[in-house]
Amino acid sequence: MLAVVNRPHTEGFWIEGSIPKDVLDYVENRYGKENVSIVDDYGDELIDPTEMDFYREMKTCEIPGDNLRFYRKLTRMTQKALAERLGTSKQAISLMEHGKRPISRKTAKELGRIFSVTPKRFFGL
pLDDT of residue 19: 79
pLDDT of residue 59: 60
Helix, strand or coil for residue 3? Answer: strand
Other C-beta atoms lying within 10 Å of the C-beta of residue 97: 22
Helix, strand or coil for residue 116? Answer: coil
Cα separation values, 66 from 26, 30, 99, Å:
28, 31, 8
pLDDT of residue 50: 65
pLDDT of residue 11: 63
pLDDT of residue 125: 46
Which amino acid belongs to residue 116? Answer: S
pLDDT of residue 16: 76
Contact 59, 66 (CB under 8 A): yes
Structural domains of the chain, with CATH: 2-46 (no CATH), 51-122 (1.10.260.40)
Phi and psi (nearest 5°) for 39?
-125, 150
Residues of the chain scoring pLDDT < 70? 1-12, 40-43, 45-51, 54-62, 124-125
